[in-house]
Each structure stands twice: as structure tokens, then as C-alpha cells.
């Protein structure tokens, strides 16, 4: 960045500095899926560092970090309003409040790294400190108050095609949080000296080389199994209409029969999306028999609701075998706060989920279904949680992700959700097959390469041979400790160089 611009940013005070931080956050959000405007980060992160460096106290630095996060998350999560509009007659008052309120909470996780970076020495120590503290804050965001690790900055590399495949391969070493760490360091280099800029280019070169080499490694033989992903494209306003339930059920049965014809007699497994069956399969034997008949003897993984012994609903996936037998059941365990359950810390007057909502399952689980390689299940929201997607003691051979993104219309929400699922395939070295009610249904191999896709708001199916799993990636062995440890190391190195107190951020001039 030009010295005159960085000096001007560092000299801003009061509401002008807060506004600049907000705009920097908005610009940075343009780099997120599905836009992938990466120059947004090259502008936004240096601007944030300058604003941090110009703060007179740590509290002012934190406030500027908060405004940056507020801009970042407001733009990145605008699509949540689409879900409220589905029930606008009931929740109209939430339309102007929901996204800003959520962004305001998440912005705290940007304020903390800004405060930590202010303590570092100006220049590269502040940049590395911001990157490290941001990743630690993202790790906290994954767990605090049930967690919401949506839109990590490492996801900005998930653009479509071969180049995107190349750029996400280092997630096999350090996960999406590791990509976030590297991304923030790279984004800060315009603010630093030429040595850092050249170093950033070298890092990108190594990054690309690793991705190319990894992608060019031969895959093991694929299992002899065709997976049939059904996309019913049922509008959210119709899903639970009692007058349409029988028609919706027949619609899925018809699509299943059509898809089965594409299997050409090969062993097959049918997958319906999250809560696709309007029938309560646990108690409805006739519905299970109809599914088994439509599947022609193939195993069927069907999203449905069930009720437990305490009469609490559970968001589940049923494995239906020949004759309509229930071979296995998986219960979603990462529930959406306010959408699927009511957090206990929320006052009763603010509860939006009747009766406390859904009950959660025990955690990641591998289903063993006759004739099907062991399969790990992710229901909707569960796909956004790195290192919390498979049972490590009984690793599956593939992951099935069923979801209903109809709530969010044809917005960036379903596309960001798809990007999260794709990253889980790279991290775990497992193929991931996704059946979405209104799209996007897709198949990713164990390196995150897209094999097939059925786009938004289309009715149909995908018939794809199951890709093979690959050797356990380094990240899958070490988990969140790897990016967390790297982030801590950056902070320690940065503070070890500090000889004078405080005020990190923008360098005094355009040098290291």
C-alpha cells in the first residue's frame, strides 16, 4: 500500500476509523465463496493492520477489529435473512435484526485478534500476530456457545476448477484453519517490505507445487458401487404441507426409480436429502417398503425425522434395506442453535424453537450397512466443523452429506455450505457425496475435486461411481492441534522480537 494511504488510515480517529474498519471488512468479505475476489483481502487486511497500529489504546484497537468483523460477517452472512423470509408472517420483526445481531457477536472473534496484534511490534510482528491470533479465535469460534465456524478465511481458495483443486490441497496438512493462517500472512504482505512480498510469492509457488504434485498422484481403485443422489427440489414452503406430503413422497420414489435405471445393474446405494421423507420412517413400515421397492434391492440412505423415547424429535438418516428393514440409524448431533434447538442460556422469552427443539445424537458415527463400504454421515450444519466429522476409532470409507438448503434460496448460503463440505473431503482424505433438497448436490473425490454436480433449484439425480478413499492425510492424524500449534508459534516468534511496548500494525514506512 502507498505510504500516504497507510499514514492516512493510521491517523484516522473516532467514527471515521470505525467506518474505515467496517468498509475494510466488507471489502474482505468479497473474497469469500462464491465471489472469490481475492484482492479484497489484499486491501482489507493491510487496512485493518494500519487501523490497529493507529489506535492509541488496546481497547480502541479491539473496537476497530470489531467493526472489521462486523462488516465481514454482515456481508458474508446476509443470506440468513432468506430463511426468515420463509416465515415472514411470524418472524418479520427479525428481518432487520438477525444478521446484524449474529455479525455483532461473531465480530468479537475479530476484536480479540486486533487487540493482541496491537501489543506486537509494528510491521511483520503485528502481521504474524494478527494471523496467529485470528486462527486461535477461529478455533474458539468452533466451540464457544455451541460453535459457528462459518466462512473461515481459508475458504477463499475454493474456487471452481483445477486451480481451486490445487490451492486447497495444503488443507490435507493443516486443515482449513491452516489455510486461514497462510492466507492472512499473504494478505498482509502489501503492507510490508519487498523481502516479505518476494517471500509471499515463494510461498505461493511452493503451495501450488504441492497441490499439483498431490493431485497428480494416482488414486486407488474405486469400489464397485454406484451412488444415486436424489435432488427433489421441493420448496421449503411445501415440505411440511400435509396436503402435499403424499405427492412429495411419490416424487422421490419416482426419481429413485429413474436413477436406478442409470446404475446399469451395478450394485447401488440411494441417497435422499435431509428430512426428504415426509413419512416418519421409524414407525411407518409401508413407507419403508415403498422405498425399498423403488430402490430395487439397493440400500437406501433416507433423511427423515424420528422421535426418541422422551418424545423429542431427532434429525436422522435411516439406512433402509430389502423389504424395508432398518439397517442403521444416524442422529444429527451438531444442531443449529435457534433453528433446531433452544440454547439453555437464552431467556425463555427469546426462545424461537417450540418445546426446546430437536434432541442431539451422540456424535460422529460410522454406519455399517450390508453391501456398502462403511459410511460417515454429516447432516447439513455438521459439514462446517473441521475435525469433527468422522469417528476416528472406526474410520469410514466415504462420507455422505445430506442437507436441505431450501431455507436460503438461490443465495450465497448454499454455495458457502458446499465449499465447507468440499474442504472436509480434503482434510479427511475421503470422498464426500452430497444430496441437497434444492441443490447443490455434488460429488467430491478424496482430494476435493468435483466429480459431478446438480445445480441450484434443479430436479433430478446424480448417478456416480463411488470414488476411493486415499491414505490418511497428515491433518487427519493431528487434527486441530496442528493449525492451533502453528498459530501459537507465530505469536511467540512475533512477541520474542518485541523490544519496545505496543502499538503493532502499520509499519512506520514501507520497509521491513
In the residue annotation, 274 being an active-site residue is answered as: yes
Q: Are the C-beta atoms of residues 499 and 250 closer than 8 Å to each other?
A: no
Residue 419: beta bridge partners? none
The DSSP call for residue 383 is G
Q: Which of 158, 239, 332, 427 is catalytic?
A: 332
Question: How far is Cα 276 from Cα 500, in angstroms, rounded to an integer?
Answer: 61
Residue with cell 455422505: 400
d(CA 157, CA 161): 11
Residue 188 near residue 197, CB atoms below 8 Å: no
d(Cα 197, Cα 318) in Å, to the nearest integer? 52
d(CA 456, CA 453): 10
Q: How far is Cα of residue 443 from the mean position of the Cα atoms in its chain?
A: 16
CA–CA dist 289, 393 (Å, integer): 33
Active-site entry in 82, 158, 274, 428: 274
Q: Residue ranges of the alpha helices (H) in 262-312?
A: 285-294
**Helix/strand/coil (H/E/C) assignment for every residue in 77-102:** CCCHHHHHHHCHHHHHHHCCCHHHHH
Q: How far is CA 282 from CA 109, 279, 288, 330, in A?
A: 42, 9, 8, 12
φ/ψ of 508, rounded to 5, equals -70, -25
The question of whether 332 is a catalytic residue gets the answer yes
Q: Which of 43, 32, 53, 38 is nearest to 505 (CA)?
A: 53
Does the annotation mark 477 as catalytic? Answer: no
**Residues 435, 273 contacting (CB under 8 angstroms):** yes
Separation between Cα atoms, residue 286 and residue 267, nearest integer Å: 24
> Which residue of the set 50, 327, 340, 380 is catalytic?
380
Pairing of strands 375-379, 432-436: unpaired
Active site residues: 274, 332, 380
Amino acid at each position: 500500500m502507498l505510504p500516504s494511504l497507510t499514514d492516512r488510515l493510521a491517523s484516522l480517529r473516532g467514527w471515521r476509523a470505525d467506518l474505515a474498519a467496517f468498509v475494510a471488512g466488507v471489502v474482505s468479505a468479497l473474497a469469500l465463496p462464491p465471489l472469490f475476489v481475492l484482492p479484497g483481502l489484499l486491501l482489507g487486511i493491510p487496512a485493518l493492520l494500519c487501523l490497529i497500529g493507529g489506535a492509541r489504546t488496546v481497547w480502541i484497537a479491539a473496537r476497530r477489529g470489531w467493526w472489521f468483523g462486523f462488516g465481514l460477517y454482515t456481508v458474508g452472512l446476509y443470506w440468513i435473512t432468506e430463511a426468515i423470509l420463509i416465515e415472514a408472517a411470524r418472524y418479520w420483526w427479525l428481518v432487520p435484526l438477525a444478521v446484524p445481531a449474529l455479525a455483532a457477536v461473531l465480530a468479537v472473534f475479530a476484536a480479540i485478534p486486533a487487540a493482541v496484534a496491537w501489543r506486537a511490534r509494528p510491521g511483520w510482528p503485528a502481521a504474524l500476530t494478527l494471523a496467529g491470533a485470528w486462527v486461535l479465535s477461529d478455533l474458539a469460534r468452533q466451540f464457544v456457545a455451541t460453535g459457528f465456524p462459518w466462512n473461515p478465511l481459508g475458504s477463499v481458495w475454493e474456487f471452481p476448477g483445477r486451480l481451486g483443486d490445487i490451492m486447497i490441497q495444503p488443507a490435507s496438512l493443516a486443515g482449513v484453519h491452516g489455510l486461514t493462517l497462510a492466507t492472512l500472512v499473504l494478505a498482509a504482505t502489501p503492507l510490508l517490505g519487498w523481502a516479505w512480498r518476494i517471500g509471499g510469492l515463494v510461498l505461493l509457488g511452493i503451495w501450488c507445487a504441492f497441490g499439483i504434485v498431490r493431485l497428480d498422484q494416482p488414486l486407488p481403485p474405486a469400489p464397485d458401487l454406484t451412488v444415486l443422489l436424489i435432488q427433489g427440489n421441493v420448496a421449503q414452503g411445501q415440505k411440511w404441507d400435509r396436503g402435499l406430503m403424499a405427492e412429495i413422497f411419490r416424487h422421490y420414489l419416482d426419481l429413485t426409480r429413474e436413477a436406478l435405471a442409470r446404475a446399469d445393474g451395478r450394485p447401488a446405494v440411494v441417497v435422499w436429502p435431509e428430512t426428504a421423507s415426509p413419512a416418519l420412517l421409524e414407525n411407518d413400515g409401508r413407507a419403508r417398503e415403498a422405498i425399498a421397492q423403488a430402490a430395487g434391492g439397493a440400500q437406501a440412505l433416507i433423511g427423515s425425522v424420528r422421535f426418541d423415547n422422551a418424545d423429542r424429535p431427532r434429525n436422522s438418516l435411516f439406512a433402509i434395506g430389502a423389504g424395508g428393514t432398518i439397517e442403521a440409524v444416524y442422529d444429527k448431533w451438531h444442531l443449529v442453535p435457534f433453528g433446531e434447538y433452544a440454547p439453555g442460556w437464552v431467556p425463555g422469552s427469546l426462545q424461537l424453537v417450540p418445546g426446546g427443539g430437536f434432541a442431539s445424537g451422540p456424535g460422529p458415527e460410522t454406519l455399517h450397512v450390508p453391501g456398502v463400504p462403511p459410511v460417515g454421515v454429516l447432516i447439513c450444519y455438521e459439514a462446517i466443523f473441521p475435525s469433527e466429522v468422522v469417528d476416528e476409532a472406526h474410520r469410514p470409507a466415504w462420507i455422505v452429506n445430506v442437507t436441505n438448503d431450501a431455507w436460503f434460496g438461490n443465495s450465497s448460503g448454499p454455495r458457502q455450505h458446499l465449499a465447507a463440505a468440499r474442504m472436509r473431503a480434503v482434510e479427511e482424505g475421503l470422498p464426500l457425496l452430497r444430496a441437497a433438497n434444492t441443490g447443490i448436490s455434488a460429488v467430491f473425490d478424496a482430494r476435493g475435486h468435483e466429480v459431478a454436480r446438480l445445480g441450484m433449484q434443479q430436479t433430478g439425480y446424480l448417478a456416480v461411481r463411488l470414488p476411493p478413499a486415499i491414505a490418511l492425510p497428515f491433518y487427519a492424524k493431528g487434527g486441530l492441534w496442528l493449525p492451533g500449534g502453528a498459530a501459537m508459534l507465530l505469536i511467540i516468534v512475533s512477541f520474542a522480537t518485541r523490544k519496545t511496548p505496543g502499538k503493532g500494525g502499520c509499519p512506520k514506512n514501507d520497509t521491513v
